[in-house]
Amino acid sequence: LSRDAGFDWAGIEESPEFRELTGRRRRFVMRASIFFLTFFLTYLLLTAFAQDFMGTEIAGMPLAFLLAIAQVLMTWGVTWAYLRTCDRELEPLEERAASVATRRFVRHPETTTGSPR
Amino acid sequence: MRTVFAAELQVLPLTVFAVVLAVTLGVTYWASKRTSTATEFWAAGRGVTGLQNGFAIAGDYMSASSFLGFAGLIFLFGVDGFVGLMAALVAFLPVLLFMAERMRNAGKYTIADVLAFRLRQRPARVAAAFGTLAVVFVYLIAQMVGGGVLIQALTGIAFTPAVIGVGAFMLIYVIFGGMLATTWVQIIKAGLLMTCGVVITLLVLNEVGFSPSELFSRAAAEHPEGDAYLSHGLQFDSSVGLVSFGVAFLFGTAGLPHILMRFFTVPDAKAARGSVAWAVVLIGSFYVMVMIIGLGARALLGAGGEEAAGTAGNLAVPNLALELGGGEGSAGGEIFLAIVAAVALATILAVVAGLVISASGAMAHDLWSNVVRKGRESEGEEVVVAKIAAACIGILAIGAAVVGGAGFNVSALVGLAFVIAASANFPAILLALWWRRFNTAGAVTGIAFGLISSLFFIVMSPPVWPGPDSETGSPLGAWGLDNPAIYCIPLGFLGCWLGTVLSSEKPRERTFDELNVRGETGLGAEAGSDGAAVPAGEERRPVGATST
């Protein structure tokens, strides 16, 4: 496979289509990271420093258990949100950035545009 | 109640386990016919689907310590046991958001491939290989010792033959069946473990009339500390220690070579993120079941079950299975115990096989092919060296486990593996993938800082130095932590940053631009089994189009 040859990587990197893709992904990843870190570290700090509070019972279940279940639901929720963002938003941008790259930023067309394998 | 500690050979668990072993050997034979190239050996030909890889990640990740170990800790200490489980689950979010897709698109077989992508080959590979081997070796010894002790208790096979047996099967899977056999052993194990978890959970819930509050009140009533069992603070005497323990799991997972390596087995980035999604669904539901099982063991076995559960509580679940099946001497109880024992053994095998194949990648692909032979080797040679490397690592680990014996502090070893993964591997991989300025000196310094500080603080930690029963305590005094991740992770990042800003390294031939484009779009990435990745110049196929 021609894995290095052919592309003008810097050119693709600066193309507006690629910039939009990375910008959108970065925005999601940053927001999701701040959210999950805050959510989890709050739980972790409560387990370490608010132990009486974590023993509070709600409907017969200690808060320590309910907040642990909340971590599971949060993990599933963030994962689902990322996959949905990829399907709806990022994949079309990936397609577009890749097709622009293959049309405009191939440096050595003679070595890379062979007949389809 | 009978103490589940077999003094003589137990026929029933061995019979059930023989069936499991026969199936895995059949899978290995099938896989051996499909494993000849390096891509097939380390990456199962990149033909594993997202769903399959999700099961395999779950099988690779959930060791006997998360099934029997965490359930045992919950049995002994209540809700403190939840913290490690939750940290180990949330840990897949950094893997999903920062690692999985970029690793898939930038790498080939090992995490060193990702570091070497735009850094200087030899130093970057040597550093990353050391990080990988350190984590794998420590974790492997922990698994073998833990497995040996467990097998002895459950089946009556003595410790040394049990460790050698585990090592032999692990090597058979890896050497003959490569990643394809390892993957299917992990998938089968994940299926068995989930089924077993669902059955025990339903039986426990049935005992308490499917009422969570009944479960909690009965569990607390059976614990000497009463309601304190339902709040934190029984297991950890230091709050900072608990936070550090949680942080080690949170970031350690994103530096575990055997988990990250699984992303090279799928055809593209979409399958990589899909496999994380399946893995968190499986692992998350299993961890909820482990919480219920641990509490159920307390509610049903009571304080009287503590002696039977052993000092670390590892045998609480087997005892619970015996009780749920109808108690000692009943056919149901004995059969259920045998099934749980067989699942626990399958669990150990799947994890150690994953560890050995990742170590063989570091030894053969990174150190031998790219550093010693500088890429002149043939692919056939690489696979032969990989098998020799797997055999060497396996034999070394068996030797270390047998010599160290049951006296090795398993939880200190697991802690050390996660601390090294979190402080040596995680910062270097994360920055190599995302930080434009990052360079070779940064990677080498960061990995060195992470490795050395982990070893230093673990050796100085209260359970290791100067010995658990010593009066004088750790030389670090109150600063000594059982799990020092909270010191070591910042030191790892500091090393990466210092190395980077202090060196005047020239940019490499391959640039961050290439990594970034390749990571985001998959252009130029290693092809999947069906040639799904896009070579330069070829129009990218629309999503959903069939590939030929």
A64: amino acid identity, one letter:
A
ipTM: 0.90
pLDDT score of B41 more than 50: yes
Determine, for residues B247 and A44 on separate chains, whether the beta-carbon distance falls below 8 Å.
yes
Map chain A to HEC letters. Answer: CCCCCCECHHHHHHCHHHHHHHHHHHHHHHHHHHHHHHHHHHHHHHHHHCHHHHCCEECCEEHHHHHHHHHHHHHHHHHHHHHHHHHHHHHHHHHHHHHHHHHHCECCHHHHCCCCC
- Give the distance from residue B272's alpha carbon to the nearest chain A alpha carbon, in angstroms: 11
Least confident window among A17-31, B301-315, B444-458: B301-315
- Distance in Å, alpha carbon of B90 to nearest chain A alpha carbon: 6
Interface membership of A38 toward B (CB under 8 Å): no
Please provide the size of chain A in residues. 117
For residues B423 and B419, what is the distance between their CA atoms, to the nearest angstrom? 6
Q: How far apart (Å, rounded) are the C-alpha atoms in residues B151 and B315?
A: 11
Backbone conformation region of residue B545, classed left if phi is above 0, alpha if psi is from -120 to 50, else beta: beta
Per-residue pLDDT, A13: 87
Q: Which of B280, B536, B540 lies closest to A7 in CB terms?
A: B536
| Selected residues 54-73 of chain A with any CB under 8 Å from a CB in chain B | 54-55, 57, 59-62, 64-65, 68-69, 71-72
Give residue B372's pLDDT band: very low, low, confident or very high (50, 70, 90): confident
Distance of CA B398 to the CA centre of its chain: 18
Q: For residue B344, give every residue at least 6 positions away whose Cβ sits within 8 Å of its Cβ, in sequence order, or none.
A: B64, B67, B68, B150, B154, B318
Q: Say which residues have a Cβ less than 8 Å from residue B311's Cβ, sequence separation at least 6.
A: none
Residue type, B500: T
The string of DSSP codes covering B254-292 is GG-HHHHGGGGGSSSHHHHHHHHHHHHHHHHHHHHHHHH
Question: Mean of the pLDDT values across residues A1-20?
Answer: 77
Per-residue pLDDT at B471:
60
Provide DSSP, B338-381: HHHHHHHHHHHHHHHHHHHHHHHIIIIIIIIIIIISTT-S-HHH
Asked if B255 and B489 count as a contact pair (C-beta separation under 8 A), the reply is: no
Most confident of A21-30, B298-307, B455-464: A21-30
Average pLDDT (B375-382) is 80
Nearest residue of A to residue B519, measured between CA atoms? A22
Distance of alpha carbon A34 from alpha carbon B526, whole angstroms: 32
In what helix (H) or strand (E) does residue B182 lie, and over which residues does it extend? helix B159-207
pLDDT beyond 60 at B468: no
Q: Does the structure show a pLDDT above 90 at B381?
A: no
CA distance B257 to B355: 8
Interface probe, candidates A17, A24, A40, A100, chain B, greatest B C-beta count within 10 A? A40
B83/chain A closest Cα distance in angstroms: 7
Residue A83 CB contacts under 8 Å (≥ 6 apart), including other chains: B273, B274, B277
pLDDT digits (tens, 9 = 90+) for B21-34: 999 999 999 999 99
A-interface mutation test, from B37, B215, B232, most A Cβ less than 10 A away: B232
Number of C-beta neighbours around residue B98 at 10 A: 18
Size of interface A-B (CB pairs under 8 A): 200
Task: Say how many CA atoms lie within 13 Å of A96 toward its Cβ.
Answer: 13
CA atoms of B371 and B129, how far apart (whole Å): 11
Q: How confident is the model at residue B467 (pLDDT cuts 50, 70, 90)?
A: low
Across chain B, mean pLDDT equals: 88
The whole-number average pLDDT for the span A71-81 is 98
CB contact burial B434-473 (16+ within 10 A = b; e otherwise): beeebbbbbbbbbbbbbbebbbebbebbbebbeeeeeeee
Q: What is the percent of chain A where pLDDT is above 70?
A: 87
H or E segment to which residue B88 belongs? helix B80-90
User: How far is the C-alpha of A113 from the C-alpha of B144, rounded, in Å?
Assistant: 52
The answer to whether residue B529 scores a pLDDT higher than 70 is: no
Overall average pLDDT of the A30-50 stretch = 95
What pLDDT is recorded for position B373? 84
Cβ burial of B15 (10 Å; 0-12, 13-18, 19+) is exposed
**pLDDT at res. B462:** 77
How far does Cα A86 stand from its chain's mean position? 8
CA dihedral (B222, B228, B231, B235) positive or negative: negative
Chain B residues 81-120 with CB within 8 Å of chain A: 82-83, 85-87, 89-90, 92-94, 96-98
State the nearest Cα–Cα gap between A23 and chain B, in angstroms. Answer: 11
CA distance B324 to B343: 17
**B164-219 pLDDT, tens digit each:** 999 999 999 999 999 999 999 999 999 999 999 999 999 999 999 999 999 999 99
The nearest CA of chain A is from the CA of B462 a distance in Å of: 19
Question: Residue A107: phi, psi to the nearest 5?
Answer: -85, -35
The pLDDT-based confidence of B470 (bands split at 50, 70, 90) is: low
Best A61, A65, A74 residue to mutate vs chain B (most B CBs within 10 Å): A65
Q: What is the pTM of this model?
A: 0.91
